[in-house]
A = this chain, B = another copy of it.
Amino acid sequence: MKTLRYLAAVAVSVSVCVAVHGAGAATVEQWGMFELALAGPTNGNPFTDVHLSARFVKDFDVVEVRGFYDGGGVYRVRFMPPKQGVWRYTTISSAPELDGKTGELTATPPGPGNHGPVRVTNTYHFAYADGTPFRPVGTTLYAWIHQPEALQEQTLKTLAAAPFNKVRMCVFPKRYQWNTNEPALYPFEGRPGNFDFSRFNPGFFRHLERRILDLQKLGIEADLILFHPYDEGHWGFDRMTPTEDDRYLRYIVARLAAFRNVWWSLANEWDFMEKKTEADFVRFGELVSREDPYGHLLSVHNGYVLFNYTLPWITHASIQNGAAVESALSAELYRGAYRKPVVYDEIKYEGDIPKRWGNISAEELVFRFWNATVAGTYATHGETYLSPDDVLWWSKGGVLKGQSPARLAFLRRVLEDAPPEGIEPIDKWQNPEFGGRIPDYYLVYFGKAAPTEWEFKLPRRRQGPAEGMRYTAEVLDTWDMTITPVPGTFTLVRQSEYFFADKAGRKIQLPGKPYIALRIKRVKE
């Protein structure tokens, strides 16, 4: 077995173990990445001519993963051990020199900050594989990896200080208003007008992987957009043949599924892709779901027509709909329809571009996040302030100019203090301002109303609470980011068929401003 080139940045990450076959026992963290590098055929088209996969076995667990050609005669197989312990592997290949290679690795306990991939939990929520809650507070950076290197580095620096734990980003470059610069790298061999869709450009993917790992180090999930309409034939990545589409998907899943912070988003605005049908995306979803041995989160983002989020391979609803989060009431509706987590992955952007989807105020954006929150759903930020250099955060990154990120950081702190199971709507169609977990925790969000007082009350539900329970309250100014405890406690007494109130009839004084919430917690007796 030959000595092989290492991945540039990847090899230095604590999460990655690159094993040269025959080099002896390897160790890798659980949910880290083990990589087997093998020398193989270079004749013909290695991307299409050679099949390579490997079976990783530990006791009764078997994980079969597809390998991929990484150029220069190097084939790789990547594996994210889902459990700790010794895994043995055997390769299977159409090329004799890649076939039947065996070896083992030891998956060790995860290191600090490694919680595994994010999964759906409690029907409507998310948690890392180790059980740590994950509460998406995402942003969009559609084309950040296609920008000049210095801008990418600046984006990472901004992200390090920003509240976002998920980034929506495209694999393919983006051509659109304010996005007309060509990228340095393309995913296929060739140049615009002359790509060979049967030959991938490994350098492009290594760069993508480096950026995914950069996000991973920042604790950010990479919500990878696999197709998008912002091409319109300029490069033609939006109009490859079914064979080319499927080959691309198999290749990218083979390369990336072992990155624990990857989510699959089959498309941005799937229905705006003129050369693709809904059936294409169903095929894509089935393919990705079948190829990905780890079950990474998988969804499809819409333009005007919602995808069918009830399909079994879709893990959560990734929805563009700014209107739905204009109230907590409407934000809840899709949740009940889909019975899956709802992430409002486009709710219009804080900014000032002359587009109706890109010029809401920071107040409005934060308001929509809070509506989503008390409705038991999640939302995604994006920023579109005009700039002389056409660098809008929304798509290219750079620096954040808006007022919403600080408030979303505040929201994120509130979410981190909330019950780990996630926030549920309490009485969704009658009192949508109440979110929380019965009977211990409530958020009451007043939105654009500016009440000066609030009679303490909690909805009566079958699950609770009960008379006599005691609560404390805090006034949250979601815009000014203050938390003001209300003195004393409130004791429940039945007020009506539908509400408990405080035994003493106490009211809470409020500042008479919009964007106020209450946080109400049960006193553990």
Contact = CB atoms under 8 A, between A and B. Distances in A.
A306 B430 contact: no
Task: From A321, A323, A327, name the one whose CB has the most chain B CB atoms within 10 angstroms.
Answer: A323
B430 A337 contact: no
B334 A323 contact: no
A339 interface: yes
Interface string A405-442: 00000000000000000000000111010000000000
A338 B333 CA distance: 12
Contact of A337 (B304, B306, B329, B432): B306
B429 A322 contact: yes
A432 B321 CA distance: 13
B306 A336 contact: yes
A334 B339 CA distance: 13
A103 B354 CA distance: 73
Contacts of A355: 497
A324 interface: yes
Contact of A305 (B308, B326, B336): B336
A387 interface: no
A5 interface: no
Interface string A170-210: 00000000000000000000000000000000000000000
Contacts of A42: none
- Main DSSP-derived SS at the A contact region: loop
Contact of A334 (B321, B333, B430): B333
Contacts of A305: 336
Given A305-B336, A329-B330, A356 B430 contact: yes
A310 B322 CA distance: 24
Contact of A338 (B337, B356, B428): B337
A198 to B, nearest CB: 34
Contacts of A356: 430, 497-498
Contacts of A354: 497
Nearest to A309: B337
A255 B513 CA distance: 62
This chain: how many copies in the complex?
A: 2
Contacts of A334: 333, 337
Q: How many interface residues does chain A have, given as a range?
A: 20 to 34
Interface string A233-262: 000000000000000000000000000000
A321 B336 CA distance: 11
A8 to B, nearest CB: 44
Contact of A333 (B330, B430, B432): B330
A301 to B, nearest CB: 14
Given A310-B310, A333-B334, A321 B429 contact: yes
A363 B444 CA distance: 29
A432 B498 contact: no
A259 to B, nearest CB: 31
Nearest to A323: B429
Contacts of A309: 337
A391 to B, nearest CB: 23
Contacts of A497: 354-356
Contact of A323 (B304, B306, B310, B432): B432
Contacts of A330: 324, 327, 329-330, 333
Contacts of A308: 310, 339
A309 B309 CA distance: 12
A151 to B, nearest CB: 29
A461 to B, nearest CB: 10
A382 B314 CA distance: 38
A2 to B, nearest CB: 53
A309 B310 CA distance: 10
Contacts of A339: 308
Given A305-B336, A308-B310, A330-B333, 9 more contacts: A321-B333, A323-B430, A323-B432, A327-B330, A329-B330, A333-B333, A333-B334, A337-B338, A356-B498
9 contacts: A304-B428, A306-B337, A308-B310, A310-B310, A321-B333, A324-B333, A333-B333, A333-B337, A334-B337
Shortest 7 CB-CB contacts between residues of A and residues of B: A323-B429, A330-B330, A337-B337, A310-B310, A333-B333, A306-B336, A323-B329
